[in-house]
Structure 1
Amino acid sequence: MDNGHYQALKSKHEALDAEIHAEEQRPHPDDIRLSDLKKRKLRLKEELSDA
C-alpha cells in the first residue's frame, strides 16, 4: 500500500474516532449511529493493519 493511501485511511480512522467521541458526549447518543461508526472504524483499522 502506498503512503498516500495509508495516510488517507489513517485520516478517515481519526475522523471516525472524533465522530464517535462527539456522539458519545451527546445527552442521548444514537446507539445505532454509534454502532455503525464503530463498525466502520474497525474495518478501517483492519485495513490499516493489513498494510
Structure 2
Amino acid sequence: MTIASHLQELNRKHENLSSMVEKEQRSPATNTLKIAELKKQKLRLKEEIARLAQ
C-alpha cells in the first residue's frame, strides 16, 4: 500500500467518524461516552494523517 492510498483510506475513515459523531449528536438518546470515544478515534486519525502528510 502506498502512502497516498493509505492517506486516502485514513481520510475516508475520518469522514466516516465525523458522520457517526453528527448522527449521535442528533439522536434523541445522545450517548456522550460513545461520542467522546468517536471523537478520540477521529483525533488519532487526524494526527496520523498529519504525521504521514509531512
1:5 alignment partner in structure 2? 6
May I ask how many residue pairs the two structures share in their alignment? 51
1:45 alignment partner in structure 2? 46
Flag structure 2 segments of 5+ consecutive residues without an equivalent.
none
Percent same amino acid among aligned pairs? 37
TM-score (norm 2): 0.89
Give the match's secondary structure for 1:27.
coil
RMSD of aligned alpha carbons: 1.0
Flag structure 1 segments of 5+ consecutive residues without an equivalent.
none
In 2, Cα distance between the equivalents of 1:46 and 1:40?
A: 10
